[in-house]
A and B are shown apart, each in its own frame.
Chain A
Amino acid sequence: MASGDVSIWVPGTFIDRVGAALVAPRRALAVADTEAGAGRAGSDAALLILLGFIALYTNEVIVGTWLIKTEGLRVGFTALAGSLSRAISNQLVVLFVAGLSLTIAAGRRRSFGRDFDLACVALVPYLVTNFAAQMLSRAFGFALANTLADGVTGVALAWAAFVWFRALQQARRRPGGDA
């Protein structure tokens, strides 16, 4: 898909952009790679991570808030920060690896900021797959067995890798190179 096709339909809202990253990744990537879309994929991924954290770790969020109220800001913030860092460390590693590998693989067409925007689009399927698995696990009160958890991680990474390859195609379609 050429970047010009973006004019056909531009996902304009958070919901549209997240949905497009799942079902119309080429379009989502093309939009993320435009000047108008710069930074939006990153903020969408951050918002998605934040919403997922609040939804899945509601108890930790409430306990942290309670500790801020009863024990002070330092203790409550430490508890909240600890929960947040445990919850999002894998996602940040995937994003970092995806962004860095994309910018290396893009060669002369690389653009550091835009490559990380594209990596943020590739991160969305990873986030949603893991989130859906954890949501089902909590809703039905069962712990994911190791093999099942490995399977979920495999599916999430494979889906993200598929979008990553699309992202690489998108990056290599850029005119010229600004490296």
Chain B
Amino acid sequence: MTAAPGPRRRSRWAGMMVVTVIGLTLAVNVVRIVRHWERLRPLSPGDRAPTFVLRRIDNGRASDDQWIDLKKLRGDVVLVDFWAEWCRPCRRAMPAIEAVYEKFRGRGFHVVSIKTDGRFGKRGKKVDTSTTFPIVADSASVAQTYKVTTIPHLVLIDHEGIVRYVHHGYSGVDSLREDLTDQVETLLGRRALR
């Protein structure tokens, strides 16, 4: 039986090419990530919160003169909630957020609820969340700026515009409400001391 060096050599060469290309791509990506880690890493407590200006779409109503500018809320504590209409855990988390909002509203606390899947709901219908806090549509990739990888994604920002608490996912209304209440109380206390 004679050997077949042709296909063997070609196959090994092609296989080596594939593995080399994969290795090079990985190396290029790792170098890029190491060089730009500050820009790529997830937003964490202690980071400055990126600012945004987004249009309100409460209950589907969009109005050109109703914009939420995070910069204008500086001096107050702000909870930013990233969600989407199709995300059931996000909607389950809303009563907890609403309860915290009701408890602290008017005391220097705001909620900005950012809908990440466009302005309207299913089949173009208006979005009705039965909540009283403002809802805005993410038209400027704010979720990307905040490195949102899973929703619900909650970011609590203190009166100086610094991220103090990040919450991913949903673990029950009661535990979420307790977590948020503790965090907001602490931050409002610090704000009062400034």
Q: A residues near B, CB below 8 A?
A: 7-9, 11, 13-20, 22-24, 27-28, 48, 51-52, 54-56, 58-60, 62-64, 66-67, 70-71, 74-75, 78-79, 82-83, 128, 131-132, 135, 138-139
Q: How far is the CA of A55 from the CA of B27 in the complex (A)?
A: 8
Query: Do B15 and A18 have beta carbons less than 8 Å apart?
Result: yes
Q: B residues near A, CB below 8 A?
A: 1-4, 7-8, 10-19, 21-23, 25-26, 28-30, 33, 40-42, 44, 147, 149-150, 166, 168-169
* Cβ contacts A to B, 22 pairs, < 8 Å: A8-B2, A9-B7, A16-B12, A16-B15, A18-B14, A19-B10, A19-B13, A22-B15, A23-B10, A27-B11, A52-B22, A54-B26, A55-B29, A56-B25, A58-B26, A59-B40, A60-B149, A63-B147, A67-B42, A71-B166, A82-B149, A131-B22
**Contacts between chains A and B (CB distance < 8 A), count:** 118
- When distances are taken between beta carbons in the complex, the residues of chain B under 8 Å from A23 are 7, 10-11, 13-14
Closest to B41 in A: A66
- Output the least CB separation between A144 and chain B (Å): 15
- Output the least CB separation between A133 and chain B (Å): 11
Q: A19-B12, A58-B29, A128-B18 are in contact. Are A79 and B149 (CB under 8 A)?
A: yes
- When distances are taken between beta carbons in the complex, the residues of chain A under 8 Å from B42 are 63, 66-67, 70
Query: Do B28 and A16 have beta carbons less than 8 Å apart?
Result: no
- When distances are taken between beta carbons in the complex, the residues of chain A under 8 Å from B168 are 67, 71, 75
- When distances are taken between beta carbons in the complex, the residues of chain B under 8 Å from A135 are 21, 25
Shortest Cβ-Cβ A-B pairs, 6 listed = A19-B15, A15-B15, A19-B14, A19-B11, A58-B29, A20-B11
Q: How far is the CA of A20 from the CA of B150 in the complex (A)?
A: 40
Closest to B10 in A: A23
- Output the least CB separation between A85 and chain B (Å): 13
